[in-house]
Amino acid sequence: MKIAGVIAEYNPFHNGHYYQLEQIKQKTGADYIVVAMSGDFLQRGVPALTDKYARTKMALSAGADLVIELPCVWATASAEYFAQAGVRLFQKMGNVTHLCFGAECDDLDLLLSISSLLSQEDAAYQNFLSQNLKKGLSFPAARSQALSSAVKKDPALSRKLPEITLLLASPNNILALEYLKALQQTASAAKAITPVLIPRKGDGYHAPDIHSALASATAIRKALFAGHCAQELSASMPETTIHILDAYQKNFPFLDENSPSQMLAYRLFSLSEKDYDCFADCSHDLSNRIDNQLGQYQTVGQFTSLLKTKEITYSRISRALIHILLDIRNSDYDFGKSMDWIPYLRILGFRKSAGALLSDMKKEASVPLITKVADASTILTSDAYSFFKKDLFAADLYRQLMIANGASLPQNEFTQGLILIDS
């Protein structure tokens, strides 16, 4: 049985994602496609446009067979941890044969060579990276320069240095490298998973054109927040996504970066010690900036821009702020790693035709499967359940954001059932 895994956010699911699923079927001959999907909060440190159940429905309706939630602690983390957790989730399933991902770079061998350098991260690389960070470079810039220094030592790669430098400027290429690095670092501890590169087509990550058949998720979200209805964006999303978004918007609001503004303000002002560097992604310098600028707080976006410096990127600040809101601390990273990253598999939904896949998972998975939240406290260890409660807390906060923005009462984690799609 061939089972292909995809790590995704689907915020929302669009034609580029549909193209990827079709390419996966063609390239791998997969019997099933499994998606490890972020829940209600995303890797950029923002709430998802819609809740995870609507996005699960989008994925299943467009060809995915099973959707498993990536735990919130990792879904909102850096690209490195996000990728590590996604890869380890598929390894814990025990039956995934292929990891499929998109990138602007279409040279898998080149990506593998670069990821191998990143995996080794020898003393010289680490020293160069540390020096660049001390000089005040942001982590992406420091890593790029450190990697360039390492590449120059490899005669074959050094000839491609301009191409590699350009490659490192793309968020999708960075994620691809992190996926490959995670596969290389865990290869000896799990069944081999074959990487499959799907070269991206269409507009770039932040491209603004909404009229393209392969418009970016960023452009689609901006159009929806500007008042366009989903039907007006039918050129850029599958018909199934259009119907799901239309039905969703009749009862629930779309959320964005600023939706948690009041909630985050309360959280920041209520922390008595004003020492934020215990939270994930919040350095001591950023903690001081938050404390010093707190009196200027208006909205999440405005405050993030106010805190941004040459050394601290906007996305890093966004993640730090969402971690403060969700109470995700550095200790939660250590706690998660102590349980080998993924201590359970939370199933959000599946196609009814995927019965054989689920049966095989039950036999092969090395961690418990959660299909009903009410059962989690009895099937998980106390440590695993404590980690799972981070997911429940994030979902509860997202639900409150929906209500605060005019939603009729949404289902909670204990009353919401699995998303089931007929074949």
132 has binding-site annotation: no
User: For residue 150, what are its two tokens?
Assistant: 């390492």
User: What is the separation of C-alpha 328 from the centre of its chain, rounded to a whole number of angstroms?
Assistant: 15
266 has binding-site annotation: no
Q: How is 96-135 classified by DSSP, letter by letter?
A: --EEEEEES---HHHHHHHHHHHHH--HHHHHHHHHHHHT
19 has binding-site annotation: yes
C-alpha span between 395 and 219 (Å, rounded): 26
314 has binding-site annotation: no
Residue 12: cis peptide before it, omega within 30 degrees of 0: yes
Q: Is the CB of residue 294 less than 8 Å from the CB of residue 267?
A: no
413 has binding-site annotation: no
12 has binding-site annotation: yes
405 has binding-site annotation: no
14 has binding-site annotation: yes
Reported as half-sphere exposure (CB side, CA atoms, 13 A), residue 123 has a value of 0
333 has binding-site annotation: no
The residue with tokens 């590590």 is 84
- Orientation angle between helical segments 382-404 and 330-338, nearest 10 degrees: 140
55 has binding-site annotation: no
C-alpha span between 25 and 31 (Å, rounded): 8
Per-residue DSSP letter, 50: S
Cβ burial, residue 358 (10 Å; 0-12/13-18/19+): middle
C-alpha span between 216 and 259 (Å, rounded): 21
Per-residue DSSP letter, 207: -
127 has binding-site annotation: no
15 has binding-site annotation: yes
228 has binding-site annotation: no
273 has binding-site annotation: no
412 has binding-site annotation: no
Widest CA span in the chain: 62
102 has binding-site annotation: yes
Known binding positions for ATP: 7-20, 102, 172, 200
Known binding positions: 7-20, 102, 172, 200
